[in-house]
Amino acid sequence: MNVTTITDPSTGVLVSDVVNKTVAAISHNWKQFRPAHIVLTGGRTGVLIAETLDIELFRLISADKSGDVFDLHIWFSDERFTDLLDPERTDTKLIAAFTKSIKSKFLRIHFHRVSSPKLVTLEDAADDYSHLLDDLLSEHPFDAVILSMGEDGHVASLFPGLDSTLHSFKLAVAVDNSPKPPAERVSISVDRLANASAIYIFALGEGKREALVNLLEHHDGPVALLQEVGRFAQMVIATDLQI
């Protein structure tokens, strides 16, 4: 397990660095004639990541002269269990950020969305996401997992102290008591997130200092659980804080 930290006062620089690494992993898969699978985070940082990724994917596809059609599967680290038309859903905001690359006839982007309460129960939504992950990936690692740490140290909807944060044999878990509204969410599990070629954790802003110190110095919090599983090749902590 290789854990490194990259520090820069500019969020844009950190996002560009992580996106470039992610695009390199995507390109590597395509050169091997394999689809790529990545996990994206939500929030303001997530939207900036998606917008930057869209631009870099467009550049990559535009530069390719092979005429091949490439597949990219995008998974969402966690999602509000709300209607699919809810403008506050993570997937709604991130999908909307892909305005350039999605128009290319040489790129098929598959956005895998969590279902809604109009269609299934919360437990069934988590099980459906688990089955989809199993069907399309099985034991294969994600090519890149991009997460953003909250002030309490949570990533995805894996909050400190909640049972959903514990190791699970399920690939996605139901969260029915999230301290961050709405209470009901679906999250990819700790163990499935940890099964990745690379994991990138953003810890941006002064409010993340305590959680970052707990992680780096005391090995505490949900990200430490990802480290314990140790099924990834590398983990990169991207931060604008000097610790």
How distant is the alpha carbon of residue 162 from its chain centre? Answer: 20
Domain residues for the domain of 97 are 10-230
Tens of pLDDT, residue by residue over 31-61, are: 999 999 999 999 999 999 999 999 999 999 9
Asked whether residue 30 is assigned to any structural domain, the reply reads yes
- For residue 103, CA distances in Å to 23, 54, 111, 234 come to 18, 11, 14, 32
Question: Is 42 inside a domain boundary?
Answer: yes
In a domain, residue 88? The reply is: yes
| Amino acid occupying residue 226 | L
Residue 10: CA count within 13 A, CB half-sphere: 6
Find all residues with CB under 8 Å of 70, minimum gap 6, and list them: 30, 35, 36, 61, 64, 106, 107, 108
Tell whether 242 is covered by a domain.
no
Give the HSE-up count for residue 125: Cα atoms under 13 Å, Cβ half-sphere. Answer: 26
pLDDT in tens, 68-111: 999 999 999 999 999 999 999 999 999 999 999 999 999 999 99
pLDDT at residue 2 in the model: 75
User: Which whole-number Å values give the CA distances from 140 to 21, 133, 134, in the listed order?
Assistant: 19, 10, 9
Report the amino acid identity of residue 13. Answer: V
Distance CA 226, CA 212 (A): 14
Which pLDDT tens digit goes with each residue over 178-215?
999 999 999 999 999 999 999 999 999 999 999 999 99
Is residue 16, in this structure, part of any structural domain at all? Answer: yes
- pTM of this prediction exceeds 0.75: yes
Task: Quickly state the pLDDT bin for 233 (edges 50, 70, 90).
Answer: confident
Structure tokens at 91: 């997937």
Give pLDDT, residue 1: 61
Question: Has residue 63 been placed in a domain?
Answer: yes
- Give a yes or no: residue 4 inside a domain: no
Lowest-confidence pick of 15-24, 141-150, 230-239: 230-239
* Measured distance CA(137)–CA(45) in Å, rounded: 26
Residue 243 maps to a domain: no
Residue 27 sits in a domain whose CATH number is 3.40.50.1360
Number of domains comprising the chain: 1
In this predicted structure, the answer to whether residue 19 has a pLDDT above a threshold of 90 is yes
Which of 167-181, 204-218, 221-235 has the lowest average pLDDT? Answer: 221-235
Q: If residue 61 lies in a helix (H) or strand (E), which one and from where to where?
A: helix 43-63
